Structure 1
């Protein structure tokens, strides 16, 4: 497996539940909690990547299952990815923590996975992160805290084409545009969790495997 695939692979193995729709990649919505009752946000320190403690054969089988099957169990005929440098922009009404968290995440992807990924303010970004309210997300996908969709650049665009081939992951051959929809009124930790999970799935494998313990 090429080195640049390892971090998206490990990031994608995160705490999702099956999507409410078989063709959608989501993170499950959580019950709101008051700020005073929440633990301190987790902070990443300098991280040293280590080889996975499993055989190459097992790692290959895990990668195949992650890459060619969705959370719902739906099969994917091909592995898709961005071909070339990837740009990321933020739109909507992001909370104060989203910008620094996204910067830290992009730095990790560049340094640890050697992915050519960078922020942009241009409208033609490969990945668009749109920050909207939880209520807005729940109107589209009631069980989702956040989700990622291909071939759209905004939630308004997604709502217009959500039931068409344009947003069907199983029909995708290569990735060029992906949007991530994240709540702007959730706890800072939930926003960070959504950001890490959905950016990873925007870049790499779409599935989650709970049996893999060494996930981010």
Structure 2
């Protein structure tokens, strides 16, 4: 990363982001390939955290909601679980669901299967506009004790929808957008079905999980499958307290993850201050880049004050750099390089570093450092492919192709652009969105 010190960010935008909001043409899903066709057999990263840390993670994931409310008792489904699909099921909805179910069976040891009738977990596909009218800030979500969108709309504040009151899970409703990209649909299936079967919280401090609102991980990881296996072990029972679960976790993790006993890394500090979370949410949801930058700077100040050295500090640095104004280009570069360095030291964060490398690669392209672009995209593409992130992979391939063209390797550049098309359709949802990404990258090259 020392080579990046020559980059000059002043006057440059932070480069393309991994997943633009496209205008979705649902018919393109008939042309898009499935995850299995694009990426082949899953190649997950095995859990790299210590069992002591994972025990702490499970307790924080399982006994608190994202809102911060405490959950007093352990809850889950008992016995075999059935799942069904409803609503406007998109062309690849069944294929992606069945692939996920097969992974849950094989990697987490769950007794779950899809049926054509009414399953205990009902997955309903709802148009995005309708979903956002009802729940403006949610791309997808899971609720207990109901099995249809109409049932939710009839009484969205019903006491039965309160997860803190649930002891034994009998029914759950997963809401997924019907007209999103294949990648967005798949991501929602992974996270929301996993939450129906396991813990309900998201934690910014854990990089190797989909239960993290930074959204870097897009499919269930080895960490996630281990947590689901432990969560559904017969040694745990619905109604247990946090203390009772804590007493049994060391034995369960020793059995399900013996390699974790040999990891002696120090435990991450917890919990995360509410002020930091609100600052991150403000940065991600602000109406202007300037406001996002102010929020990101606030989050970074809190992270530094807390003396964190984990994903929370890296994400604060990443957002501060991404939203920095042109006059702060040098500081933004330093923040990006430090974020990459921290992610490189944290377990299971290869895809996080790939996102940072995408931004650094965009700046390298804009400053004519094409050999550096090739270096940055090389390892980043491997991580994007392994984590099945089509939008990120297509962006990296187009970035790399542009530098190859600038180096007069036009044949290799054309081949790479052609190879990126199926990943772009899968990740961006339309040919136009993919072409817009290519145009953004070509504009960066013209700045040099």
TM bucket, shorter chain? 0.7 to 0.9
2:74 matched residue in structure 1: 79
1:98 matched residue in structure 2: 93
Q: Are the structure 2 counterparts of residues 93 and 35 from structure 1 closer, same or farther at C-alpha, using a change threshold of 3 Å?
A: closer
Deviations 1:64-89 (A, max 9, x none): 00000111111111121100000000
Ranges in structure 2 where 5+ consecutive residues have no aligned partner: 1-18, 26-31, 210-219, 221-448
1:88 matched residue in structure 2: 83
2:120 matched residue in structure 1: 126
TM-score, structure 2 as length reference: 0.39
2:156 matched residue in structure 1: 162
Aligned counterparts of 1:48 and 1:188: Cα–Cα separation in 2: 19
Q: Are the structure 2 counterparts of residues 112 and 97 from structure 1 closer, same or farther at C-alpha, using a change threshold of 3 Å?
A: same
Ranges in structure 1 where 5+ consecutive residues have no aligned partner: 1-29
Aligned counterparts of 1:44 and 1:115: Cα–Cα separation in 2: 23
Q: Which of 114, 117, 122 is residue 112 of structure 2 equivalent to? A: 117
Deviations 1:160-191 (A, max 9, x none): 23212111100001101001111111111111
Deviations 1:182-203 (A, max 9, x none): 1111111111111111111111
Q: Does 1:32 align with 2:27?
A: no
Select the structure with the greater relative contact order (CA < 8 A; seq sep ≥ 6): 1
1:65 matched residue in structure 2: 60
Aligned counterparts of 2:166 and 2:93: Cα–Cα separation in 1: 29
Aligned counterparts of 2:42 and 2:20: Cα–Cα separation in 1: 31
Aligned counterparts of 2:40 and 2:61: Cα–Cα separation in 1: 27
Structure 1 residue 54, shift from structure 2 partner: 2.2
TM-score, structure 1 as length reference: 0.78
**Alignment coverage as a number of residue pairs:** 184
Aligned counterparts of 1:129 and 1:213: Cα–Cα separation in 2: 27
Structure 1 residue 48, shift from structure 2 partner: 6.0
Q: Does 1:206 align with 2:200?
A: yes
8 A Cα contact 1:49 1:112, kept in partner: no
Higher radius of gyration, 1 or 2? 2
1:195 matched residue in structure 2: 189
Structure 1 residue 40, shift from structure 2 partner: 8.4
Structure 1 residue 128, shift from structure 2 partner: 0.3
Aligned counterparts of 1:40 and 1:89: Cα–Cα separation in 2: 22
Aligned counterparts of 1:41 and 1:102: Cα–Cα separation in 2: 11
Aligned counterparts of 2:155 and 2:148: Cα–Cα separation in 1: 11
Q: Are the structure 2 counterparts of residues 44 and 203 from structure 1 closer, same or farther at C-alpha, using a change threshold of 3 Å?
A: farther
Comparing 89-98 with 39-48, which one deviates more in the overlay?
A: 39-48
Deviations 1:17-64 (A, max 9, x none): xxxxxxxxxxxxx9731469xx98765543466652222221111000
8 A Cα contact 1:41 1:189, kept in partner: no
Aligned counterparts of 2:175 and 2:160: Cα–Cα separation in 1: 17
Secondary structure of the residue that 1:182 maps to in structure 2? strand
Q: Are the structure 2 counterparts of residues 40 and 107 from structure 1 closer, same or farther at C-alpha, using a change threshold of 3 Å?
A: closer
8 A Cα contact 2:34 2:96, kept in partner: no
Structure 1 residue 158, shift from structure 2 partner: 1.1
2:238 matched residue in structure 1: none
Q: Which of 149, 153, 168 is residue 143 of structure 2 equivalent to? A: 149
8 A Cα contact 1:32 1:186, kept in partner: no
1:108 matched residue in structure 2: 103
Q: Are the structure 2 counterparts of residues 31 and 179 from structure 1 closer, same or farther at C-alpha, using a change threshold of 3 Å?
A: farther
Secondary structure of the residue that 2:180 maps to in structure 1? coil
RMSD between aligned residues: 2.2
8 A Cα contact 2:24 2:180, kept in partner: no
